[in-house]
Amino acid sequence: MKMTKRTTIYKLIKIVSFSCLLVTSFYMGFNFSGKNLNEGWEPSSPKNATTDRGVIVIRSDAEFTASNGVISGEGSETDPYVVANWNIVGTYSQPCIEIRDTSLFFIIKDCVISNGENNGGIRLITLQNGVLMNNIVYDSQYGIACDQVNNVNISDNHCYNSTDIGISAFFSENVLINDNNVYENQRWGIMLLDCNSCSVIGNFAYNNLWDGIRLESGFSCLIQNNTCNNNNDYGIILYYSEDNILTGNNCSFNDNYGIALIFDSRNNQVYDNFLFGNGDGCIYDEVGLNECFDNFCSVGDLNACFSVARTNVKVDQIINFIDLSTGGFSVLEYYWDFGDGEFSRHKDPSHSYEEIGDYIVTLQVQDDAGSSSSFSMTIYVEEEEEEDEPLINNDDPFADAFKEINGYPFIALWIMLMTPLVILILKTNHKRKKMVE
């Protein structure tokens, strides 16, 4: 196979990308066996989150006060209000922290939030200019829930064991969900509904009861470099969504597809994603109107295999080899060694042997990621049996006639026996005519 310099560089880039994704997966406690090495892990408390207090409710810019948990700031972009270092156990009636109808800049950070049963741990409604950073939210209905927000940054939070969603954004724009850990939630890890120009980058969504990341009716969103592993449904799924980009994501060991594009999702670009060991396959594009290309796709380990119609053949008999290799990441190379000094790089080659003997045929396959696998089978070549030639008397006047109808001895014998009789009859008839005259 002819390899140009550009092709070689392109392959090296893909292999390096794969290696980076692999290291990231192991860093988060996953390996290719599907085992979750994070089991039993407990998150450490954020820095200085030592002070207990009751729920925080802020429903206007004027309510950013010390009594509502604000420890510093003036509400400007350079000096935002800071709500930090609180340990809040919620009640059934309201979220642990609720902020709504504000436009000033604020940060919620380094808090531990739990038991926000009714409406969630942290809830932001009809506001803008907020940052949620380095919080732990667990045992709530929603971990972090945003509704009709703009210019909000949700980064470096741990949201787990929610009865609904780890992190959600509904009817929102310009939301960045970045570098969060969302796991063991009873529905989705991360969900965006009717969102525009939002980014979901570098998150770890795993062991959720439904999907890792769900985008429904989303437009012009970026879903990039997320790790969505071991979820009970899909890694990433899009519903009714258009013009989004999914790239650099690691979606592995999910029960259904790694990535699914359904319910009239179209014009989305899906590329350079790492998809390994998912139950139903790599990518499901329901309407086929999306661009899916250059993804590292596999349903399991690369395993070379092939079949032939029969292993006992004759000299010069054509043998058709059928590739049955499975797994791996888009197999690019096939190396066939027929055991007689002949080789092929076709996927399903044909071959014949000129001499009798036992030949070991080996197929080696190599995929995009540089993994390889081989499989061998023995072909037994026997000497071709010669057909018996009929015995022919060269002095026999009927020998030439016999040759011409070779393969039909009964007809030849019949002609040989009947010819003298026909001659005798003709002679007898001739004599009778003379006597009559």
Inform me whether the pLDDT recorded for 41 exceeds 80: no
- Dist CA 427 CA 373 (whole Å): 84
Give the residue with greater pLDDT, 151 vs 298.
151
Do the domain assignments include residue 15?
A: no
Residues 64-102 have pLDDT tens digits of 999 999 999 999 999 999 999 999 998 767 889 999 999
Residue 234 covered by a domain? yes
Taking only the tens place, the pLDDT of each residue in 129-139 is 999 999 999 99
Cut 0.75: pTM above it: no
Contacts of 304 (CB under 8 A, 6+ apart): 325, 363, 364, 365, 373, 374, 375
Say if 387 falls within a structural domain. Answer: no
Euclidean distance between the first and final Cα of the chain, in Å?
93
In a domain, 32, yes or no: no
- For the cut 90, the answer to whether the pLDDT of residue 342 exceeds it is yes
> Of 336, 328, 319, 261, which is closest to residue 295 (Cα–Cα)?
328
* Between residues 116 and 91, the one the model is more confident about: 91
Q: Which of 33-47, 132-146, 223-237, 277-291 has the lowest mean pLDDT?
A: 33-47
Q: Which domain holds residue 413?
A: 399-436
Q: How far apart are CA 264 and CA 177, in angstroms?
A: 25
Residue 328 lies in a domain: yes
Structure tokens at 257: 């597809």
The domain boundary residue, chosen from 258, 275, 298: 298
| 382-404 mean pLDDT | 55
Q: Do 317 and 414 fall into the same domain? A: no
Interatomic CA distance for residues 249 and 278, integer angstroms: 14
Digit-coded pLDDT (tens) for 119-156: 679 999 999 999 999 999 999 989 999 999 999 999 99
Same domain, 312 and 288: no
* pLDDT for residue 304: 87
User: Are 286 and 216 contained in the same domain?
Assistant: yes
Mean pLDDT of all residues belonging to the chain: 83
Which of 293, 305, 296, 301 lies closest to 328, judged by CA?
A: 301
Q: What pLDDT is stored for residue 326 in this prediction? A: 78
Contact criterion met (CB below 8 Å) for 301 and 276: no
- Nearest partner of 129 among 192, 75, 171, judged by Cα: 75
**Do residues 117 and 90 touch, judged by C-beta distance below 8 A?**
yes
Identify the pLDDT of residue 418. Answer: 67
Q: What is the pLDDT of residues 343-353, one digit of tens each?
A: 999 999 999 99
Phi-psi map region of 220: left, alpha, beta (phi>0 left; psi -120 to 50 alpha): left
Cβ neighbours of residue 66 closer than 8 Å, sequence gap 6 or more: none
Exposed e or buried b per residue across 199-208, where buried means at least 16 C-beta atoms within 10 angstroms of its C-beta: bbbbbbbbbb
Together in a domain, 73 and 216 = yes
Question: What pLDDT score does 115 carry?
Answer: 84
Is the domain of 293 the same as that of 310?
A: no
Number of domains in the chain: 3
Same-domain pairing of 312 and 291: no
* Residue 394: inside a domain: no
How many angstroms separate the CA atoms of 273 and 344, rounded? 31
